[in-house]
């Protein structure tokens, strides 16, 4: 069965045709529970997210700040497994028709088996993977299987990436390019910074792929700012924090749906 890279591509083309950025939401699988995490994904989509990234919880999430680390710890203590990640992708996609990607560090895929992981993700209706710690020069095996199963391979670029390195990364990727707005870990911040706009410009000079910006966006004003120069606005920690701060699961679902609505308005006010 083929994955949904074409759905991802058409979704990003449609938002560009509508002269706006896509809203891409991130939530970890298994948080606060597997069932609760699936409902949270449905809630952010109902609020206005165009695309969702499902995080595969990891014990050493080097790109993630304390908020997502806390959620990952809750999910891992709850016993979340890769099968639960696949179930989250499947049920969220079947319920909404929205492209769903998995964001994961390389070690769990390597241990699980690349062929097994890509085949199961495609069968679940996944659109691809974001792989923040997989070096491009070591990605041939992954890309071979991702291509075979119709999955996007999204690499991360950073403000420290030199132009020649950007060209190497973007030539190997598909779906979109994840532009980290700053050097550091995920988390909400007071401002996104000029580094992000410069990085988007330099990345676009190397590729026709959409360039989507993550790390630091937490409110409608920041979403509007980033939407002014990027093809997509990626928000994760703000959604996770809304769930963590809620008094119960129902309140958490209402909070993430409301936040998604605010951010969706923001990306339309670019």
**Catalytic residue list:** 53, 64
Residue closest to 147 by CA, chosen among 181, 111, 115, 179: 115
Q: Report the C-alpha gap between 252 and 132 in whole angstroms.
A: 28
Q: What is the dihedral of CA 240, 26, 105, 164, to 10 degrees?
A: -130
CA distances (Å), origin 108, targets 8, 28, 152: 24, 15, 18
Name 25's bridge partners. Answer: 52, 235
Element (H, E) at 180: strand 177-180
Q: Identify whether the C-beta of residue 90 lies closer than 8 Å to the C-beta of residue 124.
A: yes
CA distances (Å), origin 29, targets 23, 94, 174, 221: 19, 16, 23, 28
For residue 189 the two structure tokens come to: 């911040």
Residue with tokens 């920690």: 237
Please provide the distance, in angstroms rounded to a whole number, between the alpha carbons at the two ends of the chain. 38
Q: Report the C-alpha gap between 105 and 251 in whole angstroms.
A: 30
158: left (phi over 0), alpha (psi -120 to 50) or beta: beta
């Amino acid at each position: 069965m083929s994955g949904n890279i074409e759905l991802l591509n058409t979704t990003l083309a449609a938002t560009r045709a509508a002269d706006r950025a896509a809203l891409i939401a991130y939530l970890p699988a298994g948080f606060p529970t597997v069932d609760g995490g699936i409902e949270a994904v449905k809630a952010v989509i109902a609020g206005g997210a165009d695309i969702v990234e499902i995080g595969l919880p990891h014990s050493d999430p080097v790109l993630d700040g304390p908020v997502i680390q806390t959620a990952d710890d809750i999910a891992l203590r709850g016993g979340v497994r890769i099968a639960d990640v696949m179930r989250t992708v499947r049920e969220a996609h079947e319920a909404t028709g929205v492209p769903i990607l998995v964001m994961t560090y390389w070690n769990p895929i390597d241990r699980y088996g690349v062929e097994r992981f890509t085949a199961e993700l495609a069968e679940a209706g996944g659109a691809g993977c974001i792989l923040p710690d997989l070096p491009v020069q070591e990605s041939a095996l992954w890309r071979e299987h991702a291509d075979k199963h119709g999955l996007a391979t999204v690499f991360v670029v950073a403000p420290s990436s030199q132009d020649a390195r950007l060209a190497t990364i973007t030539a190997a990727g598909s779906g979109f390019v994840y532009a980290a707005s700053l050097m550091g870990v995920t988390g909400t911040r007071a401002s996104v910074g000029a580094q992000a706009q410069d990085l988007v410009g330099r990345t676009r000079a190397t590729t026709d792929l959409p360039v989507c910006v993550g790390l630091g966006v937490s409110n409608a004003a920041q979403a509007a700012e980033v939407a002014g120069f990027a093809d997509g606005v990626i928000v994760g920690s703000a959604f996770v924090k809304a769930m963590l701060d809620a008094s119960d699961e129902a309140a958490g679902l209402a909070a993430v749906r409301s936040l998604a609505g605010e951010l969706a308005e923001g990306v339309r006010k670019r």
